[in-house]
Chain A
Amino acid sequence: MTVEHAPDPSADGRVSTGTPGLDAMLEGGLVSRRPYLIVGPSGTGKTTLALRFLCEGVRHGEHVLFVTMEEPPNEVRVNHRGLGEDLLGVDVFDAIPDIMRYERVPFKDIAAVRHAAPFAEIPLEIRRSPELAAVEVTMTGLEQMLRTEVVRRNYSRVVIDSLTAFQYFCMKGFDPVAGAQAFLRFLSDLKVTTLLTVESPLEDADTPERTLARGEIRLFRWELEGRTVRAIGVEKFRGSSHDVRLHPYRIGGPGLQVNLNVTISRDTRQIIEEPRLPEVAPTIPASAGIESSASPFDSLAEEVRDLVLIGAEVGAVRTEIEAALGAAAAGEIDRSRGHISRAQALALDLSDALRRRMEESPPVAPGVAEAYQRIVERSEAARAGIPPTRLPPTQALQIQLEWVLSTIPRAPAAVGTPMVEVPAGSSARAVVEGTAAPSLAFEDREAEVPPPPALSAAPAGTPHGPTGIPSTAEPEAPFPAVEGKPSEPVETLSEPPESTTPTPSLPTLSPEALPQPANAPAAAAEPFRGTPGEPGESGSPALPVPLLEAPSTNAWAPPTERLPPPPNEAEPERALPPQGWSAPTLPGGPLPTPRRKTRLPDEPAPPAPGPASRPLPSAERDRRPPLPFRGAEPEPPLSQLPARSASPDRPRTTYAPVPAPAAPPPLREQAAASRSAGSGAVQPPPSRDLASGPLAVRQVEPRKAEGTAPRPPGTGSPVVVAAPPPTFVPPLVAPASSASTPPSTEPASALGRESPTGMGSAPSAPPKRKRRASPSPRKKAAAAVPTGTTPLVPAPPSDTAAAAAASPRPAAMSVGTAPEVTTDGGAAIAAPKPKRRAPRKRTAPTVVRARAGAIPSAEPPPKAEAPGATPAPSESGPPNEEP
């Protein structure tokens, strides 16, 4: 390209990369004094690109340093002689370890032995390892060297080639990722514009390092139709908008020749002819003076970090991110996207609420004050929850999400964290949601599944397909049970027997059932109610029945019935949080207690309620519509809402309840069933409640675990579902209430409220109040009742009795056992906290285990019914454990 390329004069502080095409993609160049990565498979020109960057500096009279760790300096000089005279002005530091002598020779630290020298002084022959003193290249040695050299020579540009080799050969005793992180941090503190090359074995492979740098330039190499195609893209560039498209390039002349006129599709990898599209796609809407971040993760992480500093309860955000991680692990990018959007919205809501609260008395503590300042600045800018329009490959996504998670304290600080201020404002909602977050996750799944439709027909089950095979779907259901209440699983088992006939259908159904739970409250309830309840009881194979019962039974239906009763009372309140998800809501009930506990602290914040409430209503309104649609809409809204993301999230939750209203009227049983389904999801929460108030936090942890070991099963959501179990209980109550409440638009809320507050509270605004109010009640209830475990167990029996479904009841028995199972499974993950199980296990692994284990013995204990049920495996699982 033209060497004369001059950076955009308007781009102050930008550093030209020396590759004109790339500068254009970066909208002027790199933001100075930060570390950046050049990632790509070998042979794509990473080193060439980096050297061009240095030569550009030399051209401007700067001192630049090239640290080589792969290629000997003499070879670099020869290989890149095409760069001309400029290269000779580049200082090079040979950081390649010597030959191992396998003898006792004194080791010398590289910083003490070698020094940077310009390429002009590099001999053409390869450096010979000294015979007597091997040089050891270590991270600390390199850092030492860089620190002194940068000071000595005042380097303004540094290239590390490569970070991969650095990790491979210079980090003995360090964890490569942790080491890289520390090193990048070091470079960041060095205040020098640094490029690090990273070798990625596959074009799409992700490396943990990429989340750490301020920007990432990625080089791709594909073989298309027998031809090798290279493309360059800016994957991440903090602090600036940039061209997000991929452009082909070739290596030739003095460097990389980027063809900006041609774009290569990221998915099909075909050339896209876009003659007149703007070359640079603004990543973010113009925001007042605030640096826009290209990566949604960056802005999110930043926001969350500040929130944490201020002491806000970010459990909800974390929960969403975990859900996103789970979805990503399951390969469900769209769902993951939804969760990310919600997380963003939650964070924004929190920020807004905090800001309102703190306006009167801004924090003074150092750090906190600064964080607050940043939050204020951000919220004053036209912030938009930037919906990730394009997510990185799943693997990359997972890593990035994990990175974001790492910035969020796991500790349920929430409980102790009084800062809960959040509650006061809209943030309160966020908090609530946070607790409910799990449920939200469910919603997403549901949304994906299109529960409503599913309810109506078996096809829905197919939708579940996402989970994959029916069996897979089942696992999900199990999860909930496992997480939340074992009892549920048991029930499922029992039910299966009944449904035995429909076995085939069951699988399908079960999946649907899951979705239904979520939807159940709203849409599903109406149509099926009659049937659902009947089927469940009768066990008739009727389609409806299968859906409700079989599916639900397996995991949900039975539980719902049984559990619902107990939960109802306690859960009602929670219903609100779960609202978004009908089922979740219910689950929320149980969880609520814990949440409420947490909330209680928050409650003090209530003063803010006014404002918060206002926002909420609007949000709720918006969301409500979505909820009905659940399946499809949820996500769309998110993406659409991005800007308003904060409100959308909440609304959704609320809305979910709304849909529920319709359902409630239909039939309690159905509602219960739906709830049960939901509860399945919710169950985990109950456990959490039992365990402790800060459920959200705990849940998060589990999820994390899951994230790491994410299981393929799309069940990730199931895990979430686990939380619902508690909900189940509430659902029971809710159903009853729902019957009365149906009229009310707010299903979830209604349900939840029924028990607690009662219908009295208004749908949108009331929720908050209800929540607040409910919290205390719940707490009491929780405390007295046994939030989690005890209540649950007892509840199932009653439910079963009520249900009059023999099989279900056995299930109840199983429920008791089921918990155990879950625990066992969970134990593997984290014996201590069931919560974790639920979240993480969402993936289904746990469920599977439970089922597997359960199958053998489980059925016997539950009853003959269990055997009959096709689902036996899962069902059986629980029973076994019970014994």
Chain B
Amino acid sequence: MNAADPLAERRVGTGIPGLDRMLGGGLVAGRPFLVTGGTGSGKSLLGLQFLLEGLRHHEEVLLVAVDEPPSEIMENVRSFGWDLSQVKTLDANPGTRAIKRNMAVQEIRTMTDLKSMRDLSQDTKRGSDAEEISIQSIQLKLRQQMADKPFRRVVVDSITSVRRFTIKASADPQAERTEIQSLLRFLSESGVTALITATPSDPGVLTPEEILTRGEILLTRKWVGDRSIRQLKIVRMRGAAHDPERRPFVITNQGIVLG
């Protein structure tokens, strides 16, 4: 908190001033956080703003894009006028082959490299040529990348998709939990401030990322007549005084703007 406190954690801006205020200064650096919300609630946008904020501070940032191929993300944010060219993207979209590589995006292909990594892994479960994305492969890839350029901010969009695409992992809940635990631990140990997006789990189901992330931001959208009302709530935030109430926000050409 105050500079005099040796234990005070460093805070990282989210790129959304209103949210930073709610968080009491921003996210605590070096920890993983969860952003949950339904489709179209603004999770990805929040993640991108978080990364762009990092770019403004000349940090190395990485987007692990599972939901959407990088090219589409580029298209989507065009209206905001954002420059994503410096955002490294781990194109983890399973249908990646069919997508034309957009040179504006520095893609980190997972496939080729991962294959070699897999060979090294102690228990290779996948076929050699299947272009699968898995929690394990993401971790291995990140680890490789971290060696030369340590990222400060990482967004995984979304963990729900990773889980969905990783059939083998979902077949074994224990293994999946362990993999997610390992990934989050890896991010923590790497000093990365990470945002993991997820669609809300079924009520009553507790996902490992819910347990392991240090905070959770919930985005909701409801319709009143023909108007959509978007709200943001900090569900939990370990070790940080925060605004626990639901706050409305809008998406403008500046991205997410919190009142």
Contacts and interface: CB of A to CB of B under 8 A. Distances in A.
Interface size class of A (residues with CB under 8 A): 35 or more
Interface string B237-249: 1111000111000
Given A75-B238, A103-B121, A70 B211 contact: yes
Interface string A47-76: 100000000000000000000001110010
Interface in A130-170: 162, 164-165, 168-169
Interface stretch (B55-63, B78-86, B147-155, B184-192): B184-192
A164 B203 CA distance: 16
A210 to B, nearest CB: 14
Contacts of A79: 238-240
Contact of A168 (B5, B117, B205, B208): B208
A42 interface: yes
A201 B177 contact: no
Contact of A172 (B174, B188, B240): B174
Interface in A75-93: 75, 77-81
Given A42-B211, A199-B211, A169 B204 contact: no
A228 interface: yes
A99 interface: yes
Contacts of B9: 78
B184 to A, nearest CB: 9
A201 B210 contact: yes
A367 interface: no
Contacts of B121: 102-103
B185 A103 contact: no
Given A43-B216, A75-B238, A226 B245 contact: yes
Nearest to B175: A172
B212 interface: yes
Contacts of A44: 236
Given A42-B216, A201-B201, A126 B182 contact: no
Given A43-B237, A71-B214, A103 B120 contact: yes
B246 A201 contact: no
A228 B205 CA distance: 21
Contacts of A169: 177-178, 181, 208
A205 B216 contact: no
A156 B59 CA distance: 47
B99 to A, nearest CB: 27
Interface residues of B, number: 47
Contact of A129 (B140, B189, B205, B237): B189
Interface in A84-110: 96-104
Nearest to B241: A252
B41 interface: no
A164 B178 contact: no
A100 B135 CA distance: 11
Contact of A71 (B177, B201, B208, B238): B238
A99 B188 CA distance: 10
B238 to A, nearest CB: 5
A124 interface: yes
Given A102-B140, A201-B203, A96 B245 contact: no
Contacts of B235: 42-43
Interface in A198-231: 199-202, 205, 223, 226-228
A34 B179 CA distance: 34
B30 interface: yes
B199 interface: no
B139 interface: yes
- Choose among A79, A104, A162 the residue with the greatest number of B CB atoms under 10 Å from its CB: A79
A814 B2 CA distance: 82
Contact of B204 (A96, A103, A127, A201): A201
A70 B238 CA distance: 11
B206 interface: yes
A128 interface: yes
Given A78-B9, A102-B121, A103-B121, A42 B236 contact: yes
B7 interface: yes
Contact of B236 (A43, A162, A200, A205): A43
Contacts of B201: 201
Contact of A223 (B177, B203, B214, B246): B246
B197 interface: no
Interface string A224-268: 001110000000000000000000000000000000000000000
B122 A102 contact: yes
A128 B203 CA distance: 34
Nearest to A168: B177
B31 interface: yes
Interface in A609-639: none
B139 A202 contact: no
B110 interface: no
B93 interface: no
Contacts of B160: none
Q: Which 8 pairs from chain A and chain B are nearest by CB?
A: A43-B236, A79-B239, A100-B182, A102-B121, A228-B244, A201-B206, A104-B122, A99-B186
13 contacts: A42-B235, A75-B239, A96-B185, A97-B185, A98-B185, A100-B179, A102-B117, A103-B121, A124-B7, A162-B211, A169-B208, A205-B204, A228-B233
Interface of A: 42-44, 47, 70-72, 75, 77-81, 96-104, 124, 126-129, 162, 164-165, 168-169, 171-173, 199-202, 205, 223, 226-228
Given A99-B189, A226-B246, 16 more contacts: A43-B216, A75-B31, A75-B214, A78-B239, A80-B239, A81-B7, A97-B181, A99-B182, A100-B139, A100-B179, A102-B120, A102-B122, A102-B123, A200-B206, A201-B203, A202-B204
